[in-house]
Amino acid sequence: MTSRILTTAAAATLALGLAACGSDKGNDKADGALDTITAGTLTVCSDVPYPPFEDFDKTTPTGFKGFDIDIVTAVAKELKLKLVVKDSDFNALQSGLALNSRQCDLAASAMTITPVREKKIGFSEGYYDSEQSLLVPAGSSIKSIDDLKGKSVAVQKGTTGETYANKNATGAKVTSFPSDAQMYAAIKAGQVDAILQDLPVNLDHQKDPKQPGKFTVVETYKTDETYGLAMKKSNTDLIKAVDDALATLHSSGDYQKIYDSYFATK
């Protein structure tokens, strides 16, 4: 998933600002209630757009749509909390900055659980298994990652896709973009030869009704990635409650219904 590089000074300023905004909240929770930044509300941050996981939609109650949004909507319902979703920078989410400064209670942003991130963030149990993939223009001579030598490939800054490309796309010019939207714009403009991205996101580009048949996924990579819902590491009660809610969604079949609405192949 995407991120933007913050300068040290900017990050410090943001941290202070966020801490100031969140420091006086969450202290008046009723006994037994979950510790959230606003009593009775689950505030969720997500880096938008990143379809099919998150996108803008003014017609919905939250103003957002996507697989992640449906999952946290169901989780909030299980926890009997009102849901508020905020568009956020992924770097502030994956670094733990937004969570630890109480800008939000939970990050739902197609975020892969990694050992590095687990040092800073508390994760739910994994809720989605993903792979990486290579998207190219239809008819391209690029058929696999081995064909990227001397070619340009777009990746998202700070993501597992970027890590995979830097390790495996030998001889390619790897260009990092701050968002998937900019990557997709670059390949449509012919500025890059390929996109290495999470498979569901590249599949969304492949079936783009505005670009029918123009792009195709030519290769996928099993990276054993699992997305988790991220929370403040010390908020163990919330992490457990979210895990319990996810387990309930699985046992009730509601998780499968949401999954099939986005990823079913039949």
- pLDDT (tens digit per residue) in 63-97: 999 999 999 999 999 999 999 999 998 888 989 99
pLDDT, tens digit (0-9, with 9 covering 90-100), for 26-38: 445 666 789 999 9
Report the DSSP pairing between strands 128-137 and 215-227.
antiparallel
pLDDT, tens digit (0-9, with 9 covering 90-100), for 136-177: 999 999 999 999 999 999 998 878 899 999 999 999 999 999
Q: Say what the pLDDT of residue 157 is.
A: 82
Report the DSSP pairing between strands 230-232 and 64-65.
unpaired
pLDDT, tens digit (0-9, with 9 covering 90-100), for 186-226: 999 999 999 999 999 999 999 999 999 999 999 999 999 99
User: What's CA 84's distance to the chain center, in Å?
Assistant: 17
Q: Which of 126, 43, 25, 115 is nearest to 79 (CA)?
A: 43
Instruction: Measure the CA–CA gap between 204 and 258, rounded to whole angstroms.
Output: 17
The better pLDDT of the pair 235, 26 is held by: 235
Long-range contacts formed by 210-218: CB under 8 A, 24+ apart: 213/138, 214/137, 214/138, 214/188, 215/135, 215/136, 215/137, 215/138, 215/187, 216/135, 216/136, 216/137, 216/138, 217/133, 217/134, 217/135, 218/134, 218/135, 218/136, 218/140, 218/142, 218/143, 218/144
Q: What torsion do the CA atoms of 104, 106, 108, 114 make, to the nearest 10 degrees?
A: 120
Q: Is 158 left (phi over 0), alpha (psi -120 to 50) or beta?
A: left
Instruction: Report the predicted TM-score, pTM, of the whole model to 2 decimal places.
Output: 0.77
The better pLDDT of the pair 27, 254 is held by: 254
Q: What torsion do the CA atoms of 199, 204, 208, 211 make, to the nearest 10 degrees?
A: -20
**122 φ, ψ (degrees, to nearest 5):** -95, 130
The SS3 assignment for 79 reads coil
